[in-house]
Structure 1
Amino acid sequence: MKHLNKILVAVLLAMGLNAQAQDSNNPWAISFGANAVDTRAGAGDSFADKFNQPFKVSESWNILPSVSYLNVSKSVGAGFTFGVTGSVNKIDKLTTRALVGTGYEVTNPGDLTYYGADGIIRYSFMNLLGSKIIDPSAHIGGGYTWMGDYDTGTVNGGLGLTFWFSEQVGLSLQSTYKKTFADAVPSHVQHFAGLTFKFGGKDTDGDGVYDKDDACPEVAGPKELNGCPDTDGDGILDKDDACADIFGLAEFQGCPDTDGDGVADKNDDCPEVAGLKSMKGCPDTDGDGITDKSDKCPTVKGPKENGGCPWPDTDGDGVLDKDDKCPTVKGTVANNGCPEMTEEQVIKLNAYAKTILFNSGKSSFKQETYPVLLSITAILKEFPSSKFSIEGHTDSDGKDAMNQTLSEERAGAVRMYLIENGIATDRLTSSGFGESKPIDTNKTSKGKANNRRVEVKLVK
C-alpha cells in the first residue's frame, strides 16, 4: 500500500504536465517547497472553527524538513489556472477535541505517512490589483489523501499569495482546507511555502518580447515597438519602412523628402531641388513640360523637339526655321518662307532666255551665251523653292520631226547647264515644241529668229 500511494502521486503529477495554459507569456509553472498539515482544523464543530485559533506551529503542525510538495500548472486564461499538486508528510501531531471541556488535545498517532494528490483551479487577483509583484489568489478543487492505512477523497478550497521577484520567479504561500469523506482521515488544513518558476514562453529573437506579442518574432526589436526594429529611428518599423536605413517620414513609408517637394527621394529625379510631382520631383521653370535639367532654354518656353527652346526665325519672315524652306532668305508664309517671284522678275528672266544662242542646227551653246546662262542661274537661286519649266522652240525651216527633236535637245541642254551650276534637279523640267508655237512669222529672217527661242516659265 505504501508503494502504491507513491505511484499514484507520481501518476497524478505526470498528468499535471498535460494540463491547460499558466499565464499568457509563460504558459507553464512549477512550484516546490515545504508543506505543513494541521489536523486541528478537523476538530472544530463549524467551518469558522477551522481557522479560529492562531497558528501554533510547534503544537499542531506536521512538517517535513525537506522539499515535500510539487505543483505543476498551466493557466486556462482570464486569470484562471489549473494544476495538480502532489505532497508528502509525516503525521506525528494529531489534534482532536478533548474529552473534557472544549479544548484540543494533540497526540502522536505513530508517525503516520501522509500523501496527497490534488487538482486545483486557481484564480489570480493580480490583474485586478494592477500589480506585477503581489499576486493574491483563491482556489478550489478536490483530490485524494492517504494517511497511514486509510485514504479518502477530499473537497478543497483556500487562499494563496505569491510575491514575484521577477517575471518568472516568485515566493508562493498557500493554505488549503481539505474536507474529507472518511472519519478515519480527519479534515485538515495544508499549508504550502515554496518557490514558483514560470516557463514555456517563447522569444525566438531574444528581444524580451514573447513571440505571441512580438510583431516581428524573428527579428529583435524594442518592447515599445512590439518587438520590431526601427533601424533609422524614424518611428516606422523596418518591416513597414521602404527606406529602413534612412530617417524618413511616415507619409513616404519612412523615406526622406530632402527638397520638401512632396516626392520621396527614392522617386525624385531631382532630390535636392524642389520640383513638381508630375515631373518626378524636378522643376520646370518655364512651364513648357520639359524639366530644367533637360531644357536647353529653361527660362523660355519651347517645344520638346527643339530641346525646350523656341523655334528660331532666322530671316524674320514669320515662318519658323523648322518650316521655312528658305530659312536664311526672307520670304512669304504662302511660299513656305521662300521669296515669291513677281511677274516683273519672270519677264526679266525670259528676256535673258530669249538671248540664248545655239550653234546652227545643234543644241550646243555659242560662246557669248554663257554669261546669259549665268545670269539666269543667279535669278533662279534667288527663289530656291520655285519650280520652272524650260521650253524649246524652232522656226519652220527643215522637217517637223527634226525641229521637234532639236527643240527638245536645246531645252534639255539649258536644264542640264542650270543643274550643273547648282539648281536642284526637282525644280526643273524641260520640253520641246518644235515649230508648233511660233510667236512671229516664219516668212522673214527676223520672224524666224524670234521663233527660235527658249522660254523659262514659273510653275505654280
Structure 2
Amino acid sequence: MKKLLLGCLCILSAVAINAQTEDKKWNIGLHGGATQYEGDWGNDFYKTNTGFFGFGGLSVSRYLGKHLDISFLATRGIVGSKHDSINFKNNLSTISLNLRFNILSPRHAVRPYLFVGGGALLFDKNININPNTVDYAVPSFGAGVNFRLSNSVMLNLQEMFMYTTGDDKDGKVGGGNDAYAFHSLGLTFNFGKKKDSDSDGVADHADKCPNTPKGVTVDMKGCPLDKDNDGTPDYLDACPDYAGPASLQGCPDKDSDGVADKNDRCPEIAGTAAFKGCPDTDGDGVPDIDDRCPTIAGSIELKGCPDKDNDGVADMDDKCPDTKPGVKVDANGCPMDNDKDGVMNEEDRCPDVAGPASLKGCPDTDGDGVPDIDDRCPAVKGTIANKGCPEMSKVDIRRITQIASKIFFQTNSDKLRVSSLVQLDALVDILKRYESANLVIKGYTDNVGDDDYNLKLSQKRTESVKKYLIQKGIAESRLTATGFGETNPIADNKTSLGRAKNRRVELETTY
C-alpha cells in the first residue's frame, strides 16, 4: 500500500512540466509511475521481462514564455533489477531541475514537449554493494505530452531518463555508468493571478483597451461594448441603442439645436440648451412651452406673466391691480381681512379674531384696555402697567417685604431654618391669590470670607427658597432665583449689626 501511494505521488509530479500559461505562471503537479534500470547486468528499458518498480513525485514549475518552462521535480521510489545472477533492489530519491521546450503554444489543448536538465540521486545505504549514497545525473532528459482538462488542470504523460555519474549502485563496475528511466502519469494544477490592470476580465497581454474603467462590460478584446456602433462606448452612451454624435453622448438630435432628443422638451422645434431645447419668444426666461403669456415678458414665479402692483398675482388674474406695495392679498389680488373686522390682515395683530381698530383688530374681553393677546389676566379687569392684571394690595406688598426679612438659614449653609418655613407658607398663599404675578428672589451675604464662596452661597440660598415654593405648588416659570454675594450692602459690614442686615433675602413681584 505504501509503495502504491508513493507511486501515485510520483505520477502526479511528472505532469507539472507543461501546465503553465501567461496568466497562470505557476504549476504544482502530483505524479506516479514506474522506474526501470539499465546497467551492468544487461537490463534494457521498455522490456517487460525486466524489473519495474513504483515511484511517486511532486513538481513545481514556472512559466517563462510561450514555449519555455522551468521545472523542479522530486521523486521517491524503488529501483532494481531481476537479473538471473543478482536480484538488485534499493530505495531511491531523486531531484532534478529541467528546462522544457513546448512544441505548441499554450492555446493548444494538447502540447507535446522535450526537456533537458540535471539532478541528483540518493540511494539508501547498502554496505554489501556500495556504502556511497549519492550519484549525479548529467544529464536528465526526456519528453512528454500535456492534455488540458480545464484552465487549471492538466493530465500529463512523461518519459524521463537519468544517466548517472556512478557505475556501482548495482554491485558491478564496467560496461558504462548506470541509467534509469521514469515512466510517469500525473495531474498538475495551474495557479497564479493573471495580470489585468483594468480588472475587466481580459489579461493585459490580450487587452486592446487596457485602461477601461472598472465595472464596464467589455468584448473579447477587452474593449467597451458599443451596440449602436456610433463610436461612443455603451458606458458613455446615453442612447446605447440609437446612433448619435459623441458631443451628445451618442444620442440623436432631430431638430439640430444641440440638445439630444431624449433631453429635448421640444424635439420638433429648435430651442436653446438652457431651456432644454425649447424657444423663449419674449425673452423673459420662461420657455414658451411653460409661459402663460408667451408674447409678453413676465416673471418666472408667475409663469411668464407680468404683475404691475407686485402683489404676487398676475395682472391677468388680479381683481385689485393697484394694491399698495407690501400688502398681502388673496388669490384675486385683493387685500386680505380674514376676520372681516375692517382691519386688513397686514395691520391686524389678530387677523383671525375680530377686534376694534383701536386695538389693531384684537378683542379685549374684560374691557381694561389691554387686548387679550397681551392680557395676562384676560378675564379680570386690571391695569395696563400690570399687563391687564389687577394691582396687588399694599397690605400684601408690605407682607411680602416682612416675609423676606424673616427668612433665615443655618450658619454657612443653604438649609432653611424651621422658623422660615412658616413665613414661606404665608408667601405661598399670597402668590396663589395673584397667579399672574412673578417673584424674583434675591440673595446677599456680608463680606466675611471668600468673595467667590459668598456668591455661590447666596445663589444656593435663593435656590433653596425657590425649591420650597415649587414644592408648595408655585409654578417654576413664575420664579427667578439670583445670588449677588457681597454686592449691594444696605449696612456697614464693619459692625456685627451691619453684617447681619447685609445677610438677607429680598423678594420682588413682577408681571
Smaller-chain TM-score bracket: 0.3 to 0.5
Q: TM-score, normalised by structure 1?
A: 0.44
Larger proportion of helix:
1
Q: TM-score, normalised by structure 2?
A: 0.40
Max Rg structure = 1
